[in-house]
């Protein structure tokens, strides 16, 4: 079972929920869960789960290098590249590495065999053991690198669950390609939102992503100080179960700011998370 | 000598468009005869690398100079590689005004990208 935690809006409590869920499951499940921090642009789950990293690999894509001596400047490479990462300008062929997605089309189409590929580092993936015997892995995008997707894909391919191991994936905020890469292939999507117009606006977008990918989804409402009727209506209209409501409490905010999870602050939440997991298992 | 100007509509009396890669139309003017033609900027529809696509169009036309309000780092690198000179609109408000200033040698030539990086959100997106 692979559970992904996403939100649309940033700062709604994805990582708090994902880490609390993993700890709650670790207390009762063998093997303890696998936690994947897929928010490679700003990974922060380690602050809650205290992993000790034991393995590390560099990741990236392969980018084209043009041998000008062989290049006939025919322009086939530039024509096939939808990102304009390679361009023929007069008698020069230029590569723009930051736009390259590493698809290899230019290399295979070059009639002069003038293109070779060199690995271009974009970040690292790391794995280790975290608190409560949770297996922990994450990707970290290098500063200045614009593309998160290759790092996320390589993280998911590198760290696979063992038989019977539940996976919790902490997705990036937003609804763009990195989120799609992080949630694709999961069995259930937990959408963390807050009872505000902004939270609802981005939840709508996140639900569209779930629909497009065909992943069943449920909602967790965080920082609920009072019910927000438009959010309740939206969930009812879209048959989205509200799986958990977390109140707006100063004690939770203070605890999270100190690196504590919900189950450290309110131990009774462990049962709520386990109950939620059983509900999800029954639904999928 | 052919000069490309970025404009908001496809004619010689159009307003200037200060963007190069995503400027709506490319107006190509023969500096000597003032004969002109307008083309949609192929960069406008590009998901990324708009400046590079527009630069390729300019290089293939071929034109010898571009006047616009702004050249990003990729556009600058591409136009420089193609040997196309770059100038800024400065105070000019119409293509003909810019052309007059250009002929008088009063437009500022561009020696580097006029901004640090693309200012929009396509990075990190994937097919």
Question: Which domain CATH number covers B80?
Answer: 3.30.420.130
Confidence of residue B124 (pLDDT cuts 50, 70, 90): very low
Asked whether A112 and A70 are in contact (CB, 8 A), the reply is yes
CA distances from A233 to A191, A214, A224, A237 (A): 16, 22, 15, 6
Measured in residues, chain A has a length of 284
Asked whether A82 and A73 are in contact (CB, 8 A), the reply is no
In a domain, B23, yes or no: yes
User: Could you tell me if A83 and A146 lie in one domain?
Assistant: no
Per-residue pLDDT, A283: 83
Domain count, chain B: 1
Give yes or no for residue B21 having a pLDDT over 70.
yes
pLDDT in tens, B41-88: 999 988 889 999 999 999 988 999 999 999 999 999 999 999 999 999
Confidence of residue B126 (pLDDT cuts 50, 70, 90): very low
B89-111: average pLDDT: 92
Per-residue pLDDT, A261: 97
In a domain, B90, yes or no: yes
Per-residue pLDDT, B8: 96
Q: Which residues contact A136 (CB under 8 A, 6 or more apart)?
A: A34, A35, A37, A45, A46, A49, A51, A127, A128, A129, A130
Give yes or no for residue B122 having a pLDDT over 60.
no
CA angle B33, B37, B38 (to 5 degrees): 145
Q: Rounded to an integer, what distance in angstroms lies between the CA atom of residue B80 and that of residue A26?
A: 58
Q: Which two tokens stand for residue A239?
A: 């048959």
Give yes or no for residue B125 having a pLDDT over 70.
no
Domain count, chain A: 2
Per-residue pLDDT, B118: 52
User: Could you tell me if A158 and A131 lie in one domain?
Assistant: yes
Q: What is the CATH number of the domain that holds A135?
A: 3.40.50.300
In a domain, B110, yes or no: no
Per-residue pLDDT, A135: 97
User: Could you tell me if A178 and A44 lie in one domain?
Assistant: yes
Q: Rounded to an integer, what distance in angstroms lies between the CA atom of residue A191 and that of residue A5?
A: 6
User: Could you tell me if A46 and A74 lie in one domain?
Assistant: no
DSSP code per residue over B52-110: HHHHHHHHHTT-SEEEES---HHHHHHHHHTT-EEEE-TT--SHHHHHHHHHTT-SPBP
Q: What is the CATH number of the domain that holds A106?
A: 3.30.70.20
User: Could you tell me if A8 and A138 lie in one domain?
Assistant: yes
Q: Which residues contact A50 (CB under 8 A, 6 or more apart)?
A: A130, A131
Would you call A42 an interface residue with chain B, using a CB distance cutoff of 8 Å? no
User: Could you tell me if A252 and A210 lie in one domain?
Assistant: yes
Range of the domain at B33: 2-103
Give yes or no for residue B123 having a pLDDT over 50.
no
* Longest Cα–Cα distance in chain A: 69
H/E stretch holding A215 reads none
User: Could you tell me if A195 and A277 lie in one domain?
Assistant: yes
pLDDT in tens, A118-149: 999 999 999 999 999 999 999 999 998 889 99
Range of the domain at A14: 2-59+122-283
Q: Rounded to an integer, what distance in angstroms lies between the CA atom of residue B101 and that of residue B89?
A: 9
Would you call B74 an interface residue with chain A, using a CB distance cutoff of 8 Å? yes
User: Could you tell me if A50 and A82 lie in one domain?
Assistant: no
User: Could you tell me if A86 and A214 lie in one domain?
Assistant: no
In a domain, B34, yes or no: yes
Would you call B64 an interface residue with chain A, using a CB distance cutoff of 8 Å? no
Q: Which of B48, B78, B123 shows the shortest C-beta gap to A89?
A: B78
**Å between B53 CA and nearest CA of chain A:** 7
Give yes or no for residue B127 having a pLDDT over 80.
no
Q: Rounded to an integer, what distance in angstroms lies between the CA atom of residue B8 and that of residue B10?
A: 7
- Which one of A86, A89, A156 would you mutate to disrupt binding with B, by most B Cβ within 10 Å of its Cβ? A89
Would you call A181 an interface residue with chain B, using a CB distance cutoff of 8 Å? yes
User: Could you tell me if A200 and A91 lie in one domain?
Assistant: no
In a domain, B87, yes or no: yes
Per-residue pLDDT, B47: 80
User: Could you tell me if A99 and A193 lie in one domain?
Assistant: no
In a domain, B122, yes or no: no
Would you call A88 an interface residue with chain B, using a CB distance cutoff of 8 Å? yes
Confidence of residue B117 (pLDDT cuts 50, 70, 90): low
State whether residue A160 is helix, strand or coil.
coil
Q: Which of B50, B79, B124 shows the shortest C-beta gap to A147?
A: B124
* CA-wise closest residue to A171 among A2, A5, A1, A3: A5
User: Could you tell me if A149 and A217 lie in one domain?
Assistant: yes
Asked whether A136 and A159 are in contact (CB, 8 A), the reply is no
In a domain, B109, yes or no: no
In a domain, B126, yes or no: no
- Per the DSSP assignment, residues forming a β-bridge with A237 are none
Q: Rounded to an integer, what distance in angstroms lies between the CA atom of residue B47 and that of residue B61?
A: 22
Low-confidence ranges of chain A (pLDDT < 70): none
């Amino acid at each position: 079972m692979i559970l992904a935690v996403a939100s649309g809006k940033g700062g709604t409590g994805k990582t708090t929920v994902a880490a609390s869920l993993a700890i709650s499951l670790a207390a009762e499940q063998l093997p303890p869960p696998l936690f994947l921090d897929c928010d490679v642009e700003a990974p922060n789950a380690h602050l809650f789960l205290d992993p000790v990293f034991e393995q590390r690999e560099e990741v990236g894509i392969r980018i084209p290098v043009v041998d000008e001596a062989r290049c006939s400047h025919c322009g086939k490479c530039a024509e096939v590249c939808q990102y304009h990462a390679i361009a023929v300008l007069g008698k020069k062929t230029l590569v723009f590495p930051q736009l390259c997605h590493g698809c290899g089309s230019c290399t295979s189409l070059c009639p002069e065999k003038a293109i070779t590929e060199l690995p271009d580092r974009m970040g690292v993936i790391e794995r280790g053991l975290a608190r409560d015997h949770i297996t922990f892995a994450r990707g970290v995008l290098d500063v200045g690198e614009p593309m998160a997707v290759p790092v996320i894909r390589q993280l998911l391919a590198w760290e696979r669950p063992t038989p019977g191991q539940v996976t919790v994936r902490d997705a990036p905020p937003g609804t763009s390609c990195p989120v799609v890469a992080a949630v694709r292939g999961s069995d259930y999507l937990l959408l963390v939102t807050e009872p505000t117009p902004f939270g609802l606006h981005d939840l709508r977008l996140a639900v569209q992503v779930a629909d497009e990918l065909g992943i069943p989804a449920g909602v967790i409402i965080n920082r609920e100080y009072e019910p927000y009727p438009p959010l309740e209506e939206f969930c009812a209209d879209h048959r989205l179960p509200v799986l958990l409501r977390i109140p707006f409490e100063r004690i939770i905010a203070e605890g999270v700011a100190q690196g504590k999870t919900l189950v450290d602050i309110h131990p009774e939440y462990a049962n709520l998370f386990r109950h939620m997991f059983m509900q999800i298992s029954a639904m999928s | 000598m052919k000069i490309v100007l970025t404009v908001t509509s496809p004619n010689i009396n159009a307003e200037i468009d200060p963007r190069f890669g995503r400027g709506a139309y490319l107006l190509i003017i023969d500096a000597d005869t003032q004969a002109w033609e307008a083309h949609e900027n192929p960069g406008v529809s590009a998901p990324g690398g708009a400046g590079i696509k527009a630069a390729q169009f300019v290089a293939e036309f071929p034109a010898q100079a571009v006047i616009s309000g702004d050249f990003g780092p990729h556009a600058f690198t591409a136009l420089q590689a193609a040997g196309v000179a770059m100038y800024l609109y400065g105070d000019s408000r119409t293509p003909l005004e810019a052309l007059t200033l250009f002929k008088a040698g009063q437009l500022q030539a561009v020696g580097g990208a006029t901004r640090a990086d693309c200012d929009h959100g396509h990075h990190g997106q994937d097919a």
